[in-house]
Amino acid sequence: MLLVARKNLFSERMRLAISVGGIALSVFLISLLLSLYRGWDEKVGGFVENSSIDIWIASEGTEDFLTAASLQPSEGNQEHAALYNGAKEYLDAHSFVDRWSPMIVRLAEGVRVEKLSGDDEKLGTEMDIHFIGFDTTTRLGGPIETVEGSDTPGPGEVIIDEKLSSRYDVDVGDTLRAGGRDWAVVGKSKGGDFVATQTVFVTHEEAQTTLRMEGLTTFYVIEATKDEFVEPLETDLEDLAAQNDLPLVVHTREEFAANTRERIISNILPILFVVLGLAFIVGVAVAGLTIYTATIEKAREYGILKAVGFPNRYLYRVVFEQSATTALLGFVVGLGLTLILGPFASEYVPQFVLLTRWQDVLFVAGITVLMALIAAYIPVRRLAAIDPVGVFKG
C-alpha cells in the first residue's frame, strides 16, 4: 500500500515538488512567526524579571515598564518633603524591606557622535533608548550583567546594552549623545533589550539633572528580605497608600513583567494569528490540489482496484499516505529553512529576535498533520464516488 502511494507521488516529480513546497512554505512561516513571538515575549519582560527588584511603586495609572509614565517626589523636593521623608522612614523601618531606592525610566533618543578635527563631528544612526537612572549604592534597577568595561557609571558616563552596541556600532570609549548632552560610554551590559529600544544606564542624580527632574523620580523599587515577604509587603504598601489617599500603585515583579509583555504582545497577536491562518490555508490548498489532481489522474486504476475487491478503506489509506508523505517532506524542508535562515534574518534585522522551543516544533508538527488530513479529505470523497462498473464501461 505504501508502495502504491509512493509510486503515485513520485511519478510526477514536479507536482510533488510544488506540493512539498507549499507545505514547506506554510511550515516555514508558522514556525518563524512562533519563534519571533517567543523571542519578543522573552525580551520584552526579561529586564523586569531578571532584576533583583521585588516590588515596583509607581504613580496611579502606570501598569508597565515601557511607558514609564509615573512621576513621584524624591529627595530634595521641597513641595512634598514631608511625603518623601515619611515614605523614607516607613521603608527604612519595615522589617520586610532589605533595600530600596528611587529609579528613573524615560524614553529618549540617542545618537553616536564621532569627533573629527576641530569642531566637526560625525553623527551615527538615531536610536530609541530607555534612559535609566539608578542608585549606584543599592544598584536596584541597574545593569543586569556587565559584559565589558565598568559596571558603575560616573558623572557624564553611561553603560549601554550590548544589543544597542551591535545594532548602532557604539562601543566602549565612544560618545553617545542623549538628553541634550554627550556621554562617555564606559561599559556594556546584557539583559536590557526591549526589541524596539535598549537600555542606557546613568546615575540617578545625573538622570534627574539631564531630564530636568530635580526632586522627582519615576519609580521606587524594593528588594524584600525574603521571597515569602513579597506579597505581605505588597499588601502593606497598598494599605498605606489607601489610608493616606496616595495616588500610587504597587506591582510585584511578576505582575510588572506580565503587564509589560501584555502591552507589546497584545498588539501583535492579532497580526500573528492572521498570518498563521493564511499560511495554514496556503499549505492545505496547495497540498489538497496536487493530491486531488493525482487522485483524478489515477481514477481508472482505483476503479479497477475496487472492481477486483479492494475495499474503500484500502484506497483511502493510499491517499492518506500520499498526503502524509507530502506533509512530512514539507515539514522537514520548512523547519530546516527556519533553522537555517532564521539566524541570518536576526543578523540583518535586529528586531527579528527568534527563540525556537521544542514544544513549538511539536506544535508545528501537529499543524502539519492537520494539513495532511484536510488535504486528503476531498480526494477521499472523490474515491468514494468512483463506480467500478463505469470503469469497465469506459
The Cα–Cα gap between 151 and 190 comes to 11
> What is the reported pLDDT for 1?
46
pLDDT at 58 over 90: yes
Element (H, E) at 203: strand 198-203
Element (H, E) at 261: helix 253-297
Output the nine-digit C-alpha cell for 92.
527604612
> What is the reported pLDDT for 304?
64
Sorting pLDDT into bands at 50, 70 and 90, what band is 166? confident
> What is the reported pLDDT for 202?
97
pLDDT at 2 over 50: no
pLDDT at 215 over 60: yes
Count the alpha carbons within 13 Å of 282 in the hemisphere toward its beta carbon: 19
The percent of residues in the chain predicted with pLDDT above 70, rounded, is: 86
The number of residues in the chain equals: 394
pLDDT tens profile 106-138:
999 999 998 777 778 888 889 999 999 999 999
> What is the reported pLDDT for 77?
84
Q: What is the mean pLDDT of the chain?
A: 85
Asked whether the beta carbons of 324 and 19 are under 8 A apart, the reply is no
Output the nine-digit C-alpha cell for 5.
502511494
Residue ranges of the domains in the chain? 2-44+264-393, 61-246
Cβ within 8 Å of residue 31, ≥6 positions away: 334, 335, 338, 356, 360, 361, 364
Angle at 255 between CA 226 and CA 46, to 5 degrees: 85
Distance of CA 234 to the CA centre of its chain: 28
Cβ within 8 Å of residue 341, ≥6 positions away: 28
Give the pairing type, strands 219-224 and 181-190: unpaired
pLDDT tens profile 285-318:
888 887 777 676 666 666 666 666 666 676 677 7
pLDDT tens profile 313-361:
766 777 777 788 888 889 999 999 888 887 777 767 666 777 788 888 8
